[in-house]
């Protein structure tokens, strides 16, 4: 959410930003919210004037009564009543304007960074850099669901009976490999100096609206019936919410945390839920990184954070690339974002396994997260990045470590978490 003072002083720049994000329909809101703010300021001046008059009038009443000027004192009392009635009406209108102003400001997107490529949607995202040589083996790579099935490692049929489409059971070595990746991701980030955290998996609505746009909320979040609670779609939500209404000491910045959580998403959209495999599901597990820092340090942390995800996947023998998100693909709270995509030797293309974003002060403004500096309090910058979201990350490891005989080479970094096991061997599928 933008500072309304910034919006008023940079009216045309805010409108140009809307054009870059292909949200021209919101442009009238920029002038509308300014007009509402002007009206609120005018009302505030009237309120201040009335309060001053009321105080001055009230202070005269006692003296008039003492001097025996009862009739004049009664007139003053009537005036105080009139002022109080006017104040009630003015303050009610101001409260209504506050709600309207906030509602509009919550829909106007954050100013994007100058380096963000202009494009309408994700089809116009721009490749930045490749890491590792994409390999196309001279043998066929099966669908990941078939790889898991040969390892007796997946049961979506039973999950369909218990939970419906978009859920799964992972079993045996596949489940163990999945958990090994999460454990390794945790330790990988701890070694980078991040503080490990397991957050709440449900959050209140005021936190949800503080960390994401209304559109994202509707498309992603599961609400708990008859409770002001939502299941988190990523631990970033509760990790940023941890600092709601807090003032942190400047010397404590940056605050770098890595968090584990299960994640729950509706996955509303044209893509739907994948029937066979594990690529797009309602439930997954994730190791996240979240940083709170000084605004001037945000871009340095942004580049550092996505590079950690690249390093993580390269340590698992998975080639990756970074993809710069274009203006139209950026969520409204984001200043700049890039995806990390893993190579799929089966499909011979890359697919998303992580996303890194810097959000400027958008979340901090909504949640009132400030730092106390020498020159007063200021809003911090917030960033988030996926270390590992799996089973999607599991797919990348399975495909890139699949051998011709159907076995899976366990990446060396994961072997300590797999009891030293180096290879996963296909088993006879039980009927």
Q: Indicate which CATH number applies to the domain containing 84.
A: 1.10.287.40
406 assigned to some structural domain: yes
Residues 43 and 142 in one domain: no
pLDDT of residue 273: 55
Residue 429 has pLDDT above 50, yes or no: no
Residues 96 and 157 in one domain: no
Residues 244 and 376 in one domain: yes
pLDDT of residue 166: 87
Residue 219 has pLDDT above 90, yes or no: no
**Number of domains comprising the chain:** 2
pLDDT of residue 64: 84
Residues 180 and 218 in one domain: yes
Q: Assign 193 a pLDDT band (cuts: 50, 70, 90).
A: very high
Residue 107 has pLDDT above 80, yes or no: yes
How does DSSP classify residue 193? T
pLDDT tens for each residue of 113-152:
999 999 999 999 999 999 999 999 999 999 999 999 999 9
Residues 237 and 292 in one domain: yes
Residues 56 and 184 in one domain: no
pLDDT of residue 6: 94
3-state secondary structure string across 246-264: CEEEHHHCCEEEEEEEEEE
Q: Assign 428 a pLDDT band (cuts: 50, 70, 90).
A: low
State both tokens at 25: 């329909």
- What mean pLDDT do residues 294-310 have? 97
Whether 329 contacts 121, CB under 8 Å: yes
Q: Assign 270 a pLDDT band (cuts: 50, 70, 90).
A: very low
Helix runs in 106-224, H state only: 144-150, 156-162, 172-191, 205-211, 214-220
CATH number of residue 189's parent domain: 3.30.930.10
From 44, 77, 105, give the residue that closes a domain. 105
- Taken in order 412, 410, 350, 290, the sign of the CA dihedral is negative
| Of residues 204, 138, 151, the one with CA closest to residue 177 | 151
Residues 134 and 25 in one domain: no
From 53, 80, 105, give the residue that closes a domain. 105
Mean pLDDT across the chain: 93
47 assigned to some structural domain: yes
369 assigned to some structural domain: yes
State both tokens at 349: 């293309």
81 assigned to some structural domain: yes
Residue 217 has pLDDT above 80, yes or no: no
Residues 207 and 126 in one domain: yes
Determine if the pTM surpasses 0.75: yes
Q: Report d(CA 356, CA 324) in Å as an integer.
A: 10
Residues 73 and 188 in one domain: no
114 assigned to some structural domain: no
Residue 183 has pLDDT above 90, yes or no: yes
pLDDT of residue 274: 58
Q: By residue range, what is the domain housing residue 301?
A: 122-424
Question: Which of 101-115, 196-210, 218-232, 358-372 bottoms out in mean pLDDT, i.e. has the lowest?
Answer: 218-232
How many other CB atoms are there within 10 angstroms of residue 72's CB atom? 14
Residue 271 has pLDDT above 70, yes or no: no
Residue 7 has pLDDT above 50, yes or no: yes
Number of H helices, E strands in the chain: 13, 18
From 43, 76, 105, give the residue that closes a domain. 105
275 assigned to some structural domain: yes
Q: Report d(CA 201, CA 250) in Å as an integer.
A: 28
Phi, psi of 317, deg, nearest 5: 65, 35
306 assigned to some structural domain: yes
- What mean pLDDT do residues 292-296 have? 97
Residues 246 and 335 in one domain: yes
Residues 230 and 101 in one domain: no
Q: Report d(CA 50, CA 365) in Å as an integer.
A: 32
Q: Assign 275 a pLDDT band (cuts: 50, 70, 90).
A: low
113 assigned to some structural domain: no
pLDDT of residue 262: 95
Q: What is the largest CA-CA distance in the chain?
A: 109
What pairing do the DSSP bridges indicate for beta strands 370-373 and 247-249?
Answer: parallel
Question: Which of 103-107, 115-119, 267-271, 421-425 bottoms out in mean pLDDT, i.e. has the lowest?
Answer: 267-271
- What mean pLDDT do residues 173-197 have? 97
Residues 179 and 218 in one domain: yes
Enclosing H/E stretch for 38: helix 27-66
Whether 170 contacts 145, CB under 8 Å: no
Residue 268 has pLDDT above 80, yes or no: no
């Amino acid at each position: 959410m933008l500072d309304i003072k910034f919006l008023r002083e940079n009216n045309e720049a805010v409108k140009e930003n809307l054009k870059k994000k292909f949200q021209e329909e919101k442009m009238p809101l920029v002038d509308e919210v300014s007009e509402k703010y002007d009206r609120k300021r005018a009302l505030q001046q009237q309120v201040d004037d009335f309060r001053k008059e009321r105080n001055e009038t009230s202070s005269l009443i006692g003296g008039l009564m003492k001097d025996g000027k009862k009739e004049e004192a009664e007139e003053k009392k009537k005036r105080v009543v009139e002022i109080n009635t006017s104040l009630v009406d003015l303050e009610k209108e101001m409260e209504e304007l506050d709600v309207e102003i906030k509602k509009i400001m919550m829909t106007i997107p954050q100013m994007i960074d100058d380096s963000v490529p202009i494009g309408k949607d994700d089809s116009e995202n721009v490749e930045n850099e490749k890491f590792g040589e994409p390999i196309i083996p001279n043998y066929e790579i099966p669908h990941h669901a078939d790889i898991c099935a040969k390892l007796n490692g997946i049961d979506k049929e039973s999950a369909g009976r218990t939970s419906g489409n978009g859920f799964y059971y992972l079993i045996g070595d596949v489940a163990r490999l999945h958990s090994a990746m999460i454990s390794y991701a945790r330790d990988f980030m701890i070694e980078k100096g991040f503080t490990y955290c397991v957050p709440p998996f449900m959050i209140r609505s005021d936190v949800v609206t503080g960390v994401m746009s209304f559109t994202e909320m509707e498309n992603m979040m599961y609400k708990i019936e008859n409770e002001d609670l939502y299941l988190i779609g990523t631990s970033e939500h509760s990790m940023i919410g941890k600092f709601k209404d807090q003032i942190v000491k400047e010397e404590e910045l940056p605050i770098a945390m890595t968090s584990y959580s299960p994640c729950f998403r509706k996955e509303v959209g044209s893509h739907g839920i994948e029937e066979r495999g594990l690529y797009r599901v309602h439930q997954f597990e994730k190791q996240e990184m979240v940083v709170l820092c000084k605004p001037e340090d945000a871009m340095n942390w942004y580049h550092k954070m996505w590079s950690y995800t690249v390093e993580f996947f390269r340590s698992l023998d998975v080639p990756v690339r970074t993809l710069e998100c274009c203006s139209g693909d950026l969520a409204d709270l984001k200043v700049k974002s890039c995806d990390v995509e893993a190579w799929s030797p089966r499909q011979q293309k890359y697919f998303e396994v992580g996303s890194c974003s810097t959000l400027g002060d958008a979340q901090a403004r909504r949640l009132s997260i400030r730092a106390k500096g020498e020159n007063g309090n200021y809003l911090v910058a917030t960033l988030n990045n996926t270390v590992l979201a799996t089973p999607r990350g599991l797919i990348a490891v399975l495909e890139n470590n699949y051998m011709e005989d159907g076995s899976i080479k366990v990446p060396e970094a994961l072997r300590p978490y797999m009891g030293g096991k180096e290879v996963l061997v296909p088993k006879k599928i039980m009927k």
